[in-house]
Amino acid sequence: MLGVNFMERLTDSSATPPSDPKSHQKTISLRNTQITFSVWDLVAILFMFDLTRKSTLNSIKEWYRQARGFNKTAIPFLVGTKYDQFVGFSHDEQEEITRQAKRFSKAMKAPLIFCSTSHSINVQKIFKVVLSKAFDLKCTIPEITETGEPLLIYLDTQS
């Protein structure tokens, strides 16, 4: 749904509807290059978990293993949702979840991003980071690495 919402925001009223109603595509121009977003292309896989439910983070390990069985080349991204609710947790709880998410992100060699769709926190930045990784473009978005903040860690994840 996150991808569909982003695609709907990108799509203007003059855009031609896709021939397949299950497909969501949008072409944009970036630095004199035409780029087409297609939700169905698996250049990247977003592994999303609920920051308010640690069990969903624990499930990532198995989801990652299964996804890698189907697609070994897609770039993984670890995305924690409901950041707006996560900030209400105690510092100790935030630290524990953040530490585990960072550990998983490192093992997956995946960028780690905390977001909130209801408060528009890091939502568009997710897609900018995905674009930069997928097309090997320089990303100038500042990283955020401190516990309690909406994490945005994407540099040096593929090494």
Question: What is the full DSSP assignment across 59-74?
Answer: HHHHHHHHHHHH-SSS
22 pLDDT higher than 70: no
Q: What is the mean pLDDT of residues 32-57?
A: 84
pLDDT per residue as tens digits for the range 62-109: 999 999 988 888 999 999 999 999 999 999 999 999 999 999 999 999
Tell me which of 106 and 4 has the higher pLDDT.
106
Instruction: Please report where in the chains the tokens 């309690």 appear, as a residue.
Output: 148
The confidence score (pLDDT) of residue 159 equals: 47
141 pLDDT higher than 70: yes
pLDDT band at 28 (very low <50, low <70, confident <90, very high): confident
Q: Which whole-number Å values give the CA distances from 119 to 84, 93, 104, 114, 123, in the listed order?
A: 7, 21, 25, 12, 9
Q: What is 106-127 written as a DSSP string?
A: HHHT--EEE-BTTTTBSHHHHH
Q: Which two tokens stand for residue 126?
A: 């997710």
First to last CA, the chain: 30
The confidence score (pLDDT) of residue 24 equals: 60
* Residue-averaged pLDDT of the chain: 84
Q: Which two tokens stand for residue 130?
A: 């995905």
19 pLDDT higher than 70: no
Q: What is the mean pLDDT of residues 115-141?
A: 95
Percent of the chain with pLDDT over 90: 63
Q: Give dist(CA 42, CA 148) in Å, integer.
A: 31
Q: Is the CATH number of domain 42-153 3.40.50.300?
A: yes
Range(s) for CATH 3.40.50.300 in the chain? 42-153
Q: Where are the beta strands (DSSP E) in the chain?
A: 25-30, 33-38, 44-50, 75-81, 112-114, 152-153
pTM higher than 0.85 for the full model? Answer: no
127 pLDDT higher than 50: yes
